[in-house]
Amino acid sequence: MQRLNIHQELLKERSKNTDANKLSEVLKKIWAESDLKSTKIKDTLNSKNDSSFNSLNFEKMDSNKIFHEKTIEKICVDYRLRFLDTNYFKGEYPDDLNYIISDIENDHNTTLKNYKIIAPSKLFKLRSPDDPLLFAPIGNGYYYLIHKWGNEMNRLRKLLVLPFKNLNNLLIFSIIISALFTAGGKIIFQTMTDGEVFTLFLFAVKSFVFIFFYLFFLVGKNFNQTIWNSRFTSF
């Protein structure tokens, strides 16, 4: 018995209703519209933001993707990330981002604009595979998460960048290192008196505070609380 080729049956049925040349023209038109849409989205991502926000249909929004600016600020400060307009972003966008944005625009019958992005500082200077998150403002300090891509962030990042969160944290970090240095000195030189240990601790505090603060600002760094949404301060 001859086997049925569904592909061939589809082609036969299509030929009855659609001219090949006409089909080619239709497809070219669809692709041209898609390319134009992609170009517009790319231009919007690269353009400077204004103060307006996006009007989205609340019933169609995912509540797990709605975040207030205060929440974003807390995460950015804790993990030393930045939240800036996309025109400052130097990384690459994923290939499927155009389709994701187009689907959201179609669902909400709108054109998204004024995008902002959460990413590590280096992604605003050069390309990197770390994970950015793209947002669109929806008013009253709230933002809607459009898409996240890239690699997952190391869970230890929050601990590693804790000394750079603010001035107090860097000072406390310097004191802790000084205490560990003093403890090590006491272990090595067990004959040290309490007075000598205290003197060594004070010397260590003075030295490490100077070293850490000097190197921190020498390389053009600034604290997490200062840079999270700043376009101008050091990274």
Residue indicated by tokens 């230890």: 156
Q: How far, in Å, CA of 96 to CA of 148, rounded?
A: 11
DSSP codes, 148-175: E-SBPPPTTHHHHTGGGSSHHHHHHHHH
C-alpha closest to that of 197 among 179, 174, 173: 179
Q: What is the pTM of this model?
A: 0.67
Predicted pLDDT of residue 10: 74
What is the pLDDT averaged over residues 190-200?
Answer: 81
Q: Report which secondary-structure segment, H or E, holds 88.
A: none
Residue 126: which pLDDT band, with cuts at 50, 70 and 90? very low
CB atoms within 10 A of CB 82: 24
What is the pLDDT averaged over residues 101-109?
Answer: 91
User: Among the ranges 33-37, 122-126, 154-158, 206-210, which has the highest mean pLDDT value?
Assistant: 206-210
Domain boundaries, the chain: 1-154, 161-227
The DSSP code for 49 is: P
CB atoms within 10 A of CB 121: 18
Predicted pLDDT of residue 157: 83
